[in-house]
A = this chain, B = another copy of it.
Amino acid sequence: MRPEQPYRTIIENVQPTVDGGLHPIKRVPGEVIDVTADIFTDGHDILRALLRWRSLDPAGVPNGGWLECPLVALGNDEWTAAIHVEREGWMEYHVEAWVDRFATWRRDLLKKHQARQDVTSELLEGAAMVRAVADRIDPPGSGGEARRVERPTGVDTDAAWLRASAAVLAGEARQDVRVQAAEDPHLLAQMERHAERFAAVSSPVYSALVEPVRARFGAWYEMFPRSAGPDPRRSATFDEAAQRLPEIAALGFDVLYLPPIHPIGRTFRKGPNNTLTAGPNDPGSPWAIGSEAGGHKAVEPGLGDLDAFDRFLARARALGLEIALDLAFQCSPDHPYVKSHPEWFRHRPDGTIKYAENPPKKYQDIYPFDFECTDWPALWDELKSVVEFWIDHGVHIFRVDNPHTKPFRFWQWLIREIRAYRPGIVFLSEAFTRPTVMKHLAKIGFSQSYSYFTWKNSKPDLMEWLAEFVQSDVHEYMRLNLFANTPDILHEYLQKGGRPAFQVRLILAATLGATYGIYSGFELCEGRAVPGTEEYLDSEKYQFRKWDWDRPGHIKALVAHVNVLRRENPALQNDGSLTFHACDNPHVIAYSKQDRNRSNLLLTIVNLHPFDTQHAMVQVPVVEWGLDPQHYQVDDLLSGEHYHWRGEWNYVRLDPGFRPAHILRVPAMRREHHAGHPSTPPPAVMPGH
């Protein structure tokens, strides 16, 4: 089959894209999409290439037409242009290119004229091209009122101007005067504005999901509200837990994540330290959801009722704290669904419902849903209604428990359905599993992902793990949330390293990750574990606790300070700029982050050894950063001290007790973007053709 037109332009290798366009790239407002593509044609003709984009409303309906800006050729057939992302929702983008006959004619005409060749014939050719465009945009004899209202402003004027130019080109003036008319940049601009785009080709249309800034940047704090009260023998209420909110806000956190707040089952309830038998006053694990008091749309009576939750959320929001709820799609044997919808669970031949198991282990307190059951559409709809229920109660962020044990297609559908009317909802994936699985969850819609950070404590481990993330295209669709601890993970480094270990891990998490988090108790340097495990001793997962929030040795001042630095420094609000720097001490790690224009550049240097002072030489890329190698000053944002450095290699001394790290502001030269990477505001954006 012959193509429809004699297409001559090829567009290949459009980036960024995810799996060839199968999944969207991700951005937040204020970010940029630096698009590149290989664009070429046969022979030597000049190409014109446009980057085109438009925003869609959440349901996928375009908001107005395509915007366009020209791509710029970088050489070797690579072209580039940038889109400045403005609002949340969906975006589409693609590249269009065609052979620019007029520009090619113009270039060849000028070359021949310079070589003193006669160009009479060429000038007539050009005049015909110009006249043809004028006639196309303003057909002769099509005057009258009606036509005026249908056409873009200025077309009449443009056509008249083009006709005048054509007359000069084809006229009787001296040849160099006519060539000058051909050279007029305004003529080129007019011809490009009204280009016919003959045999234009387009790349596929790719999509971008634009999420709220919180999807990329935020400090998270996790707490069990039931343990945030005055009496460790009973659940604290939401109203009591709300007393904690001012301090959490004052520490500089943005998101407060609560484990499940729903009624907890009785059957096979777990006792303290995960024992199989619970006493009558043991509260059980919040992840064993559902009792006669209700299921996923109810509040555990010990915490209060829905009104109490609403009050708690309102109080938090007033303090600048978003509430993140846990989505744990599983049931205790006492969940109302078990009676009302037994068909949503797996059954044994004798008709009883199967509990969760990973043979030979049994989890008798949990009934998993059967996402493949005959009536799966009804189950999926019901679970979606759970999310909608809490959105209606003001929740904008969900931390999804073990998403990798439920079908990927379920999450893909659910998240897309929710975003179709509420694009600003953020989903955090709690999947500690194989890289392909974690990445796939990011591709299909999760805004953020838990990471391996808790287990990356040595310098090579940290560098290898993050370098892979930053250097590949993974960061186009996956954002990490660097929790420093969780109710399930108290790493040996923290158990044994004491207060300095907590300081180190806090600084690492908060400066390596645009999004990071701590689980409450971290700021108290709580490090007591069930021996030989990463489990907290007397874990809040299974019992009520009461804490002294001013316990000696806490690091709340450091937490608050670091969170202020995060808010003040755009460099710490992105992950894509992370760069590691050479350092001659295996216990000292050095890395920098910067914003897009390098108006904010931070060099962080951390002593990973929780006991011993370390000395190190750190390499600074003075040339790349445009520093004066004779002298430059770096300011430690942690200590307030200033250092006068020179050359590439500089000395640091980091003492675990006193100064575990430097966070140095470097006065680097603001980066000039390549012509093809326009900075704000974007040049030459125009409505599409």
Q: How far is the CB of A360 from chain B (nearest CB, A)?
A: 3
8 Å CB interface, A350-406 against B: 350, 357-360, 371-372, 376-377, 380, 404-406
Tell whether, in the assembled complex, residue A404 and residue B2 are in contact, meaning their CB atoms are under 8 Å apart: no
Is B7 in contact with A409, judged by CB distance below 8 angstroms? Answer: yes
State in angstroms the CA–CA spacing of A580 and B124 once bound together.
58
- Tell whether A64 is near chain B: CB-to-CB under 8 Å: no
- A198 to B377: give the CA distance in the assembly, Å: 16
Q: A20-B20, A358-B44, A407-B8 are in contact. Are A413 and B2 (CB under 8 A)?
A: yes
Considering only CB atoms, which chain B residue lies closest to A380 in the complex? B2
- A111 contacts across to B, CB distance below 8 A: 359-360
Are A413 and B42 in contact, with the CB atoms below 8 A? no
- A371 with B436: in contact, given A1-B413, A112-B360, A128-B349 (CB under 8 Å)? no
In the complex where A42-B405, A124-B349, A359-B111 touch, is A372 in contact with B410 (Cβ < 8 A)?
no
**Any B CB within 8 A of the CB of A174:** no
- Complex Cα–Cα for A154 and B190 (A): 75
By the criterion CB–CB under 8 Å, are A408 and B350 in contact? Answer: no
| A121 touches B (CB below 8 Å) | yes
| Interface presence of A38 (CB below 8 A) | yes
Given A111-B360, A349-B121, A359-B111, are A8 and B434 neighbors across the interface (CB < 8 Å)?
Answer: no
Q: In the bound complex, how far is the Cα of B403 from the Cα of A42, in angstroms?
A: 8
Contact A38 B349 (CB under 8 A): no
How far apart are A129's CB and chain B's nearest CB, in angstroms?
11
Residue from the list B19, B40, B124, B434 in contact with A12, Cβ < 8 A: B19
A280 an interface residue at 8 Å Cβ cutoff? no
A108 touches B199 (CB 8 A): no
- A440–B40 touching, CB < 8 Å: yes
CB closest chain-B residue, reference A403: B42
Instruction: Determine if A77 is an interface residue (Cβ-Cβ < 8 Å).
Output: yes
Residues in B with CB closer than 8 Å to A408 are 8, 10, 42
Most buried by B among A6, A12, A198: A6
Q: Determine if B349 and A43 form an interchain contact, defined as CB atoms under 8 angstroms apart.
A: no
Q: Please tell me if A472 contacts chain B, counting CB pairs below 8 Å.
A: no
Please report which residues of chain A, range 319-364, place their CB below 8 angstroms from some CB of chain B when the two chains form the complex: 348-350, 357-360
- A-B pairs with lowest CB-CB distance, top 6: A115-B360, A20-B20, A111-B359, A124-B349, A77-B436, A108-B359
